[in-house]
Amino acid sequence: MATLTPGFHGHRRTRGDRLPPGQFLTEDFPVLSAGPTPEVPLDQWEFTLTTEDGGRHRWTWEQFLALPQQEVTTDLHCVTRWSKFDTRWRGVSLDTLLEGVTTHARYALAESYGGYTTNLPLADLRDGKAWIAHTYDGEPLAAEHGGPARLLVPHLYFWKSAKWITGLTLGRTDRRGFWEQFGYHDYGDPWREQRTWND
């Protein structure tokens, strides 16, 4: 077999263990979205948590901001192969939102303004691993990046961190979300390179 990409050297590799396989580091903040950016007025925004029995827990924007807030600094890994280190967020932990919610569900489907959905195991939203974030780098989260508020689940590929989130439906069975129906992996662990159905 002839040599692959002769003369390719690449940049210096000094990123230690923080960059998952197949990723490259960017200083930018690229955007992956399937369609137009929805406009969501804050006085109409609401977030609804629906359990497998149909029980509903609902927060308006004011109620949501009145919940305990957390600061999060984390690395992001997008399936389109960029990673971004040390991003700073502010938002509400899913642990806070799930407090006092009785459920035996194993799965969650995140639902967004504009119709986007993504599926995750409920366990991946618990124990300090997931937030609904409304502030990025000290500023209100821009609409193109998912504002007013987006899910933040940084240990999975970033498409799982649904932009423009408005609901979370818990269920006993796994239902595929938007990109998952179009070929993306059901779970999406960047360290195991779970990008597509075949991975």
Partner 1 sequence: MSDWSRAELRARTPESATARTLHLTVDGWPGHLPGQHVDVRLTADDGYRAVRSYSLSAPADGDRIEISVQPAPHGEVSPYLAEDFPVGAGIEVKGPLGGWFVWKPGRPGPVLLVAGGSGIAPLAAMLRARLDLGDDGPPFHLAYSLRDPGQRWFGALLDGVAKAEDPAVTAACLYTRTAPPGHPRPVGRITAADLDLPGFAPADGALAFVCGPTAFVEKAAGLLVHLGHRPDRVRTERFG
Residues forming contacts to partner 1 in the complex (CB under 8 A) are 1-11, 13, 22, 24, 28, 30-38, 80-81, 114-115, 144, 179, 181-183, 193, 196, 198-199
Contact yes or no for 119/176 (Cβ under 8 A) = yes
What whole-number distance in Å separates Cα of residue 92 and Cα of residue 30? Answer: 24
Q: Residue 135 — φ and ψ, nearest 5°?
A: -130, 130
Q: Which is nearer to partner 1, 50 or 112 (CB)?
A: 112
CB of 144 to partner 1, least distance (A): 5
CB of 79 to partner 1, least distance (A): 9
CB of 70 to partner 1, least distance (A): 28
Q: Which is nearer to partner 1, 14 or 102 (CB)?
A: 14
CB of 122 to partner 1, least distance (A): 26
C-alpha separations of 112 from 44, 64, 190 in Å? 14, 16, 23
Phi-psi region of 43 (alpha: psi -120 to 50; beta: other; left: phi over 0): alpha
Q: Which is nearer to partner 1, 45 or 64 (CB)?
A: 45
Contact yes or no for 162/150 (Cβ under 8 A) = yes
Q: Which is nearer to partner 1, 5 or 173 (CB)?
A: 5
Continuous H helices in 74-147: 94-98
CB of 34 to partner 1, least distance (A): 6
Q: Which is nearer to partner 1, 28 or 43 (CB)?
A: 28
What is the residue type of 160? Answer: K
